[in-house]
Structure 1
Amino acid sequence: MARTREFDIDQAVDRAMDLFWRRGYAETSLQDLLQELSIGSGSFYAAFGSKEQLYIRSLDRYASLQADDLGKAFDETTEIRTAVRQVLISLIEADLADPSRGCLVVNASTQCGDQPSAADRVTAALRQVESLLSGALEQAQARGELSADKDPRKLARYLTTFVQGLRVVGRGRMGREFAEDALSVAMRALD
């Protein structure tokens, strides 16, 4: 008879995500994961298969949380410039509060580029951000907030790239003035 799982998978993925985020994939050992999740190796392998598979699930979870936050920001704010600015300011504030943490997607892209499954997840996460931004920009254009000569998809790609660069700059501890100067220029793309 199979043993009943004695831990919550979603909570375990969240805890693993936090550990990978703090330490990075390579610096997180299986033993670190077992200790963080308070489970044995048999339970770990039965639930997650491998460290890499758990990392992929952690990336998926992170991307999902980020997409939810981005979607809410656009749903709760009717004016696109205000929404984009609030999102970017919140990223600047997060990086100022804890610059060593950065963004798990950026971390994965720089730490795990040779792992096809991680690279695929990074691409999917960036495409998701692009899609959310593009949809919000299209709606703003339909409301007359964005000039008809602007291409929402291209703007979304620019902003997606800017967000990732902003996260790298935050991790590099360039400071508030640097980030806010860059933000003021980026916001002009919506004019």
Structure 2
Amino acid sequence: MARSKEFDESIVLDKAMKLFWEQGYEKTSLTDLVEHMGIHRRSLYDTFGDKHMLFLKAMDRFRAKINTELTGVIKRSETAEEALQLIINFMIYGEEDSPSGCLMVNSAVELAMRDAEVDSKSTESFTLSEQMFKDIILWGQRNGEFTSDYDAAELAEHMHTVCVGLRVMTRTSIAKEKLLRTANISIKLLCK
């Protein structure tokens, strides 16, 4: 007879996600994972497969959580400019108790060149981010907040690239105020 799980799968997956986010894939050992997740090695294998499969599930979990958070930010915003500013603030300052940077960006930098599954997940996430920016820019163009001199898709590519750079730089000792100034210039370039 199979034993019932003695842990909440989503809670331990969140713990693994944060550990991978903080340390990266290569630096995170199975011992680190079982200790941080508070489960036995056998439970990790039975529930999530191997370390690589757990990592891919952690990437999916991260994307879903961030998507939910950013969708809420957009819905609460009264203007497209406000939505962009709040998203930028979220990307620079993050959430309390979360590692700096972005698991997707970190993973792309660390692994995408040699891991097709990580590359695919990162690229898919980046495509969704660009679409989010495009939707916000189109909103701003319709409302007269943002310039219509450029295609919304091209402006979205620019904003996404700026944000990827910001997410990388948040992992350094560079002052957040400097990053915010850089982001604000990108938003001002969109405005009429």
TM-score norm. by structure 1 comes to 0.89
Match of 1:18 in 2: 18
Root-mean-square deviation (CA, aligned residues, Å) is 2.1
SS at match of 2:170: helix
1:134 maps to a residue whose letter is K
Q: 1:61 to 1:84 in 2, by over 3 A?
A: same
Per the alignment, residue 168 of structure 1 pairs with 168
* TM-score, normalising length: structure 2: 0.89
Distance 1:9 1:98 in 2: 20
Q: Matches of residues 1-191 of structure 1 in structure 2 within 5 Å?
A: 1-94=1-94, 101-113=100-112, 114-191=114-191
Cα distance in 1 between the residues matched to 2:101 and 2:185: 22
CA–CA distance in structure 1, aligned partners of residues 183 and 97 of structure 2 = 19
Q: The residue matched to 1:171 in structure 2 has which SS?
A: coil
Which residue identity lines up with residue 104 of structure 2 in the other structure?
V
- Contact kept, 8 Å, 1:137 with 1:156, in 2: the verdict is yes
What is the CA deviation profile of residues 2-54 of structure 1, one whole-angstrom value per residue up to 9, with x for unaligned ones?
A: 22222111111101001111221111111111122222222211111111111
1:99, CA displacement in angstroms?
A: 10
Q: Quick one: distance in 1 between partners of 2:98 and 2:182?
A: 17
Identity in percent: 28
SS at match of 1:146: coil
- Equivalenced residue count is 190
Unaligned runs of 5+ in 1: none
Preserved CA contact (<8 Å) 1:99 1:172: no
CA distance in 1, matches of 2:115, 2:145: 41
1:177: Cα distance to partner? 4.1
Unaligned residue ranges in structure 2 (runs of 5+): none
Moved over 6 A (4+): 97-100
